[in-house]
Structure 1
């Protein structure tokens, strides 16, 4: 049996590693030509780490990220609300880790190439369509390396190609994004450790402006500073949806938080000193009547895209895998 995995992100690579552990042949097809450490941060909750530990990459992830000690809540005026322990410190067997998404992707990608073989992990392959019959699945790709179209045959196809899944769209042509008026800005900033240096901060609310802030790399510059991941969220009536993952203007974002100068953190300064800022709309999709059609099925965000609340999108993708 051969399984074609369409999408080489967190869900697709984790699924491939799990299949390999069980002796099941698979090929991974990723649209990106070169896998690089780009993007911003992600939190791996204990139940996500459980799945990653089973794939044998726990030690690498702990070395690449920062273990969260606590989650601390503040109002938009910088007033302390409460805090709670996280991960191992809250009694879980496994830690909660803040990590650069690019490092997580690289660790999974390199593990897949090493275990499956370089000829089983295909980059620059963008899925354009699929068809199937009782004997198998035919998946069409555009090969960015050769600028040609190619077809791959498999017994089963699993779509791990994200919220804008081509395979999902072919299964459900009327499928649409749902936007509730919340836009987000994401960035990473080299900054001195905040609070304990292992604190996950939530400040404010989406109605007035909300910030989620946590460290993802220790001593990033050799001077004791950390790479701090931050997410800004704002909900407005009749808001226009941000473009998807486009470069944002830090000044526009900082204006929302211009009065957020606290004794433990200057939020506008954190935003303005970001290496890059990206804009995203906060979207999900309505539940589907089915995920599986014959020999083709959906996984992760391709099946059930959800708001990035509590880092459960990545965790659910890993559990799916």
Structure 2
């Protein structure tokens, strides 16, 4: 959109993860250009594991001109299959375009996706607007501006870390589950809340299984195995780069201690720590022991979230993504919700593009963003704690712990299907709503010469 006011508001984003970078792109598409992204890491690489991006977020990325790039790096998910720990089929759901959505669902390597977004931010906003090695430290604001201060840890040996600052109209905190900004706003909150379950994750290239674009979910709440392919490049070579997750409860569910154990997700861990309980598992054509044994590097992650809070916006400052609503990785929804945050925030700031210098206008826009996004994301956090769509696994395990021949003897069809439908409604990716929005926003995709029906 054209701006009638000059100068433009300067928008500062703390965090160059999926949420922060998506926000920068959404703001740019809305007409903003004075955008600066600060990131604590000195370098950004393709480290990471697999994630899923639901159609509701893929639609936003389509409208930002990124659909072709996603097709290049990711896999268009065809189906999600649930199995018992014995390999008994529970439920198979088509996903994305295979389920009738106008846009796909993508399974993609988080690091590659982040680099895709970073490259686009540099190309559209300017490489000089991305500031690495800038760890957020503090802020101060008054009625007309907000100043963010950052520490540069990469100072030469023997020198104190350098401190730099920038003053702008808006500060967006997209600095993750361990957000420094959130810690300043909620100093008594403490560390993330540990679920008592640990995740061990790895990636390995193997022969395709099922459709070659299938997700597999097996087990129950306290022991689960998940696998899905994440590389379009591997698929085009006839192979499958499989992202897998082994999950086990390591702390009693009645233990009042929810402090996460000390872990380093960049450090490789021995497979003996978790592989034993999965030694006889097979599901969806996957030999789980073989998959684990053939993986070179395995990493450990405590499964954590944070309690919802009742406020994200404080004057000219607001939270976004995991800093606002860190959730369990259930329902394949974390990155999706950050991207929806980005679109919503950009829209609310675009509403005030010509009046942002008036007293109270920025604060009102940020509060409107908060009031739109805080209730649904809080509901998702709590739904994920109750296992979200994975609840079908727990039901099958509780009702037939020794396995079954026909799932409908265990869970009636209507009950089974209602679990997924209820979660889609909570998470905001009901098919009819997404498809209506896809048609209504075709013109946005066409700004980037996107084939809207692709």
Task: Work out whether residues 181 and 241 of structure 1, in 8 Å CA contact, stay in contact via their aligned partners in 2.
Answer: no
Matches within 5 A, 1:150-299: 150-176=164-190, 177-207=192-222, 209-218=223-232, 220=234, 224-238=238-252, 241=261, 243-245=263-265, 246-261=267-282, 264-299=285-320
Tell me, yes or no, if structure 1 residue 86 matches structure 2 residue 101. Answer: no
Alpha-carbon distance change, 26 to 15 in structure 1, aligned in 2, over 3 angstroms? same
* 1:311 CA drift (Å): 1.4
Counterpart-to-counterpart distance in 1, 2:71 and 2:239? 18
Alpha-carbon contact 1:242-1:279 (below 8 Å) kept: no
SS of the counterpart of 1:32?
A: coil
1:220 shift after superposition? 3.2
Q: Per the alignment, in what secondary structure is the counterpart of residue 307 of structure 1?
A: coil
Q: What's 1:11 paired with? A: 19
Equivalence map 1:112-127=2 (5 Å): 112-127=121-136
Q: 2:333 aligns with which of 289, 293, 312?
A: 312
Deviates more, 1:269-278 or 1:155-164: 269-278
Conservation of the 8 A alpha-carbon contact between 1:40 and 1:187: yes
Name whichever of 215-224 and 126-135 sits farther off: 215-224
Partners of 2:71 and 2:232 within 8 A in 1? no
Query: Matched residues in 2 for 1:250 and 1:98: separation?
Result: 24
2:360 match: none
Q: Which runs of 4+ in 1 moved over 6 A?
A: none
Structure 1, residues 51-71: CA drift from partner, whole Å, max 9, x if none?
A: 111111111001111111111
The aligned counterpart of 2:434 is: none
Equivalent position of 2:138 in the other structure: 129
- Residue 55 (1) aligns with residue 64 (2): yes
User: Aligned partners of 1:121, 1:237: CA distance in 2, in Å?
Assistant: 40
Larger displacement relative to structure 2 (25-34 or 229-238): 229-238
For 2:85, the equivalent position in structure 1 comes to: 76
Q: Give yes or no for contact 1:193–1:226 (8 Å, CA) kept in 2.
A: yes
| Comparing 309-318 and 144-153, the one that deviates more | 144-153
* TM-fit CA distance, 1:242: 5.8
Structure 1 residues 286 and 244, CA gap change in structure 2 (3 angstroms): farther
Distance 1:66 1:174 in 2: 42
- How big is the alpha-carbon RMSD for the aligned residues of Structure 1 and Structure 2? 1.8
Q: Tell me, what secondary structure is at the counterpart of 1:302?
A: helix
248-257 or 298-307, which deviates more: 248-257
TM-score by length of 1: 0.94
Shift of 1:219: 5.9
Counterpart-to-counterpart distance in 1, 2:234 and 2:272: 24
- Which TM-score applies when normalising by structure 2? 0.67
The superposition leaves residues 280-300 of structure 1 with CA deviations (integer Å, 9 ceiling, x where unpaired) of 111111111311111111011
User: Structure 1: 5+ residue runs without aligned partners?
Assistant: none
Q: Output the CA distance in 2 between the equivalents of 1:290 and 1:87.
A: 33
Query: Looking at CA atoms only, which structure, 1 or 2, has the larger radius of gyration?
Result: 2
Contact 1:202-1:210 at 8 Å conserved across structures = yes
Distance 1:257 1:4 in 2: 46
Distance 1:19 1:221, change over 3 A: closer
* Counterpart Cα distance in 1 of 2:61 and 2:146: 29
